[in-house]
Structure 1
Amino acid sequence: MSHGVPDADADPFRERSGPAFSVRKQLLGGDFRFDSASAALLQVVEAAYAGLPPHRLPVAAPEFRIELRLLPRQALPRRTEPPPVRMQSGAGLICGVMDASNYVVLAPAQRQALVVASEDMLDQPYHLRYELVEFAVFTLATRELGLVPLHGACMGRQGRGVLLLGASGAGKSTLALHSLLHGLDFLAEDAVFVQPESLLATGVANYLHVQADALRHVDDRTARDWLERSPRIRRRSGVEKFEADLRQSPGQLAATPLALAGAVFVSAEAADDADALLSPLRTGDVAARLRTDQPYASTQPGWDRFEQQLIRRGVHELRRGRHPRDAVAALHALLAGSH
């Protein structure tokens, strides 16, 4: 350091403090490179994406670069959770900001993002992973690959998949859990990304979030042990859930993107006939229901084509049976083409 000039004065924007470590992951049809001078932040990346099936789409995989930067611990009162992310955009950039030391800046046109986190966020791995790192991954992939980003789950078999849609609390995660335990391939629990032309769906099958009451229908000892030893997280809604690592589950993850055979709206209501849980929605009602269920996705490029394609495949309502495995049997039948 010449003339005794502090680093902060010589390089105020930290442009010359390059990352020391790098890892690559194949995610959502893209080739992601994560760079950081912090081994701890790259460990968060490994916890999120190590061991996942490398999904590829029938297009050349673009390369994305995400730099992760660690700032010193904040001298603030300890919070039970970090402040919520506030979104902003402009000048070709997209931002998600928790506070002055925890934020994401994305440049989609350059396929790049900067994730900045303070050391105390390492004590909040759930929020760091989902609200900062995955925010960057999901947004970059969606914009560059033209994917439709859906809030929902997706299960499948033999290369075919079915979307699970519906309001929070309807039972999507519980149905996804039992689908996993009864032979269906797990693609995603909370975020599904669909190519509108091909209806190929991809996702990140790293964690499953279920409430403790979902265990009452889990009879398999191995599956119960897997869930019960999982850490618990608290959603911003206040709901506490198990965060079960799907890579350690007794089930099967979808090895490739799944071609959607249709979608179901999961209902919390019990079926009138316990042997007929699935009922097709009227074609004229489907578009409005899809748009109400997916307010963000329905404003994105590619939505109209996705909606047309999905309606052709078929959209159903799935009501509750006597046991979650009854709903899983209905999904099996739908995927087999007989319902």
Structure 2
Amino acid sequence: MPDTDADPFRERSAPAFSVRKAILGADFRFDSASAALLQVVETAYAGLPPHRLPVTAPELHIELRLLPRRAAPPGAEPLPVRTQSGAGLLCGVMDASNYVVLAPAQRQALVVTSEDMLDQPYHLRYELVEFAVFTLATRVLGLVPLHGACVGRQGRGVLLLGESGAGKSTLALHSLLHGLDFLAEDAVFVQPDTLLATGVANYLHVQADTLHHVGDQVARHWLDCSPRIHRRSGVEKCEADLRQGPGKLAAAPLDLVGAVFVSAEEAGDADVLLGPVRLGDAVARLRANQSYAATQPGWDRFEQQLIRRGVHELRRGHHPRDAVAALHGLLDGVH
């Protein structure tokens, strides 16, 4: 243990290990004295397509620091992350032993976590490590961060938006199983000047009760054998590793042809699932659906270009593959 009197801020405790990953068009270096924390990084980002954007890719540095185990009840859910900012820093805090501090101007971040969080890999990865990765890349590269999914084909992509429970993840799953390239399921990052979209295609989260339409036995086995995670909302989902499943991950950023709001409503005409959203409605819906992204510097350019390319609404058909067929038509320019 370090001498806390001589080095109270742990400024001289140099990390012993380092790994590098290409994520979201940037080069990340992760340093830590804990091999277990770097294994979390490997589990999250190993084997992903190394997306590159048409900008100079800077190196971003994240240090991960492990603190002793807290005296917390076994299996207790971690506190939710609270965010704060000031003095050029961005912070996400669970408690005194689990927090993230980001300095975008210096392209650096510090992730501090306690040993007991290693028993909560979903929360550790999603709420601390990915928080640091996504926020740092967004701020340094000037990307627009969107809550949504993205699939495509031959370098062209469609952004899938909608309220929670509308079926974005289920549609993304069936798009993967029916020939479309998978870019992201929960978080999409778009370069506002080019509308190139990137993401991290590591895991897919779908509710078990939506899997009855999956007829392919290989795909069903992959999903059935996936671990179950519990979202803070209380919903249980399958966490399927996309790098071990069927289908194809997008090898490069996708050029967005437009956006689709996924609706939980059934279409009145089973042959016409996809329809345009009027200009004024499209602007209002985009801003309401992406309230955080709409405050970011690149939003206006992103919104203007996306509106020009087209915003649509997709209602449900008899089977998810009907919706996938509509996305194929949109990507082909037939809608």
Q: TM-score, normalised by structure 1?
A: 0.98
Q: In structure 1, the residue corresponding to 2:62 is in which secondary structure? A: strand
- Confirm whether residue 273 of structure 1 aligns to residue 265 of structure 2: no
From 295, 303, 306, the equivalent of 2:302 is 306
- Confirm whether residue 184 of structure 1 aligns to residue 180 of structure 2: yes
Corresponding residue for residue 164 of structure 1: 160
Kindly provide the CA deviation profile for residues 265-316 of structure 1, in whole angstroms up to 9, marking residues without a partner as x.
0000000000100000111211111000000000100101100000000000
From 273, 289, 295, the equivalent of 2:291 is 295
Q: In structure 2, the residue corresponding to 1:256 is in which secondary structure? A: coil
Corresponding residue for residue 324 of structure 1: 320
Runs of 4+ residues deviating >2 angstroms? 76-80
Structure 1 Cα separation of the partners of residues 249 and 81 of structure 2? 30
Q: In structure 1, the residue corresponding to 2:111 is in which secondary structure? A: strand
From 2, 16, 29, the equivalent of 1:20 is 16
Letter in 1 for 2:149: A
Q: In structure 2, the residue corresponding to 1:35 is in which secondary structure? A: strand
How many Å apart are 1:238 and its aligned residue?
A: 0.3
Letter in 2 for 1:208: L
- Confirm whether residue 284 of structure 1 aligns to residue 276 of structure 2: no
Corresponding residue for residue 193 of structure 2: 197
Letter in 1 for 2:45: Y
How many Å apart are 1:199 and its aligned residue?
A: 0.2
Corresponding residue for residue 118 of structure 2: 122
Letter in 1 for 2:198: T
Q: In structure 1, the residue corresponding to 2:14 is in which secondary structure? A: coil
Letter in 1 for 2:211: L
Indicate the RMSD between aligned Cα atoms, in angstroms.
Answer: 0.9
Corresponding residue for residue 220 of structure 2: 224
How many Å apart are 1:213 and its aligned residue?
A: 1.2
Corresponding residue for residue 103 of structure 1: 99
Structure 1 Cα separation of the partners of residues 245 and 197 of structure 2? 21
From 142, 145, 149, the equivalent of 1:153 is 149
Kindly provide the CA deviation profile for residues 202-248 of structure 1, in whole angstroms up to 9, marking residues without a partner as x.
00000000000121000000000000110000000000000000000
- Confirm whether residue 175 of structure 1 aligns to residue 168 of structure 2: no
Corresponding residue for residue 38 of structure 2: 42
Identity of aligned residues (%): 84
From 73, 76, 81, the equivalent of 1:77 is 73
- Confirm whether residue 335 of structure 1 aligns to residue 331 of structure 2: yes
How many Å apart are 1:79 and its aligned residue?
A: 4.5
Unaligned runs of 5+ in 1: none
Corresponding residue for residue 252 of structure 1: 248
Q: In structure 1, the residue corresponding to 2:262 is in which secondary structure? A: strand
Structure 1 Cα separation of the partners of residues 279 and 202 of structure 2? 34
Structure 1 Cα separation of the partners of residues 98 and 303 of structure 2? 36
Q: In structure 2, the residue corresponding to 1:298 is in which secondary structure? A: helix
Unaligned runs of 5+ in 2: none
Q: In structure 2, the residue corresponding to 1:7 is in which secondary structure? A: coil
Q: In structure 1, the residue corresponding to 2:179 is in which secondary structure? A: coil
Structure 2 Cα separation of the partners of residues 192 and 178 of structure 1? 18
Letter in 1 for 2:142: G
